[in-house]
Amino acid sequence: MAQIGFIGLGNMGGPMMRNLLKAGHSVRVFDLSDAARQMAATAGAQVVDTASATAQDADVVVSMLPAGEHVKAVYLGKDGVMAAAPKGCLFIDSSTIDVASARDVAAAAEANGQMLVDAPVSGGVGGAEAGTLTFMVGGSDAAFTKALPFLELMGKTIVHAGGAGTGQAAKICNNMLLGISMIGTCEAFALAEKLGLDAQKLFDISSKSSGQNWSMTTYCPVPGPVPTSPANRDYQPGFAAAMMLKDLKLAVEAAAKSGASVPLGSQASQLYALYAGSGHAGTDFSGIINMLRGDK
């Protein structure tokens, strides 16, 4: 059994960590929040006082933190994890962060005789609890091979995307497409309403036609056609508008740095900034249909 460090025990990290514990690994954890530390102690993890203490004698350290600045501070900061971890240690960063920070931290690990994979996820809190997340993994072949048995305890679909940073690249490209497709789907349903076309009829036709997409068939933004979608529970998330905005901003930033043209991604980012900023940061991202209708 491996000695695992785990940093960041929030909505996603908490259940991911518990799946490592369930497999019989010894897990040493840290989070800034008292409540998260208490949850981890109750689950059977060893709680320590600093992020770096999780890394002592660790075979693997997993992190699930809010953003790039937290990841850099935890790994590279004064008394950081990288300095405390043994040579040969593998770091798995599953936070969704910018590609440049992911590459910086991976390069620092390599220079320090360690390995890092960027392994952001999709699948949400439900997937984290069920151990069915999708992992998009960037890193060397050796790092991926070492990470795989641990990722398999937390996820079902695990794809090696390429070298360092490509896991984050996959995540932001996918979520940019999701944001754009959700807005497009919402616009189609809002237009149908104005034209006197019943939403269920549009769904029956479009879900079998060339307009078919995931935002419509799995996550339909109007109540009725897909009973499990957040539209049926007053747009409780699901995936909050603030999180979609975070991912769209990462995509637009990455496009600016790399010289890619993303006019629709940019427009989607502005629309989600408006929606989240109008009191809907915590509303499901499909609720943007209400703003597009001019309702709220």
- Nearest approach in angstroms of CB 76 to ligand NAD is 12
Residue 251 exposed, middle or buried by CB count within 10 Å (0-12, 13-18, 19+):
buried
Residue among 4, 5, 6, 13 that touches ligand NAD (CB under 6 A): 13
> What b/e readout covers 119-149, taking b as 16+ CB neighbours within 10 angstroms?
bbbbbeeebbbebebbbbbbbbeebbebbee
Which 3 state secondary structure label does DSSP give 119? coil
Q: Which of 232, 210, 206, 205 is closest to 221 using CA atoms?
A: 232
Q: Which of 71, 78, 135, 133 is closest to 106 using CA atoms?
A: 71
Q: Does 205 bind ligand NAD (CB under 6 A)?
A: no
Residue with the shortest CB distance to ligand NAD: 10
- Nearest approach in angstroms of CB 192 to ligand NAD is 29
Q: Which of 93/202 has CB closer to ligand NAD?
A: 93
Q: Does 131 bind ligand NAD (CB under 6 A)?
A: no
Q: Does 9 bind ligand NAD (CB under 6 A)?
A: yes
Q: Does 121 bind ligand NAD (CB under 6 A)?
A: yes
Asked whether the beta carbons of 54 and 47 are under 8 A apart, the reply is no
Quick note: the x/- pattern for ligand NAD over 27-66, rule CB under 6 A, is: ---xxxx--x--------------x------------xxx
Active site residues: 171
Asked whether the beta carbons of 37 and 13 are under 8 A apart, the reply is no
Q: Does 285 bind ligand NAD (CB under 6 A)?
A: no
The stretch among 67-75, 149-157, 202-210, 262-270 that binds ligand NAD (CB under 6 A) is: 67-75
Q: Which of 11/145 has CB closer to ligand NAD?
A: 11
Give the integer Cα–Cα distance in Å for 18 and 123: 16
On the question of a cis peptide bond just before residue 238, with omega within 30 degrees of 0, the verdict is: yes
Give the integer Cα–Cα distance in Å for 79 and 181: 43
Residue among 4, 5, 12, 109 that touches ligand NAD (CB under 6 A): 12
Residue among 3, 52, 96, 213 that touches ligand NAD (CB under 6 A): 96
Positions that interact with ligand NAD (CB under 6 A) = 7-13, 30-33, 36, 51, 64-66, 70, 73-74, 95-96, 121-122, 124-125, 239, 243, 246
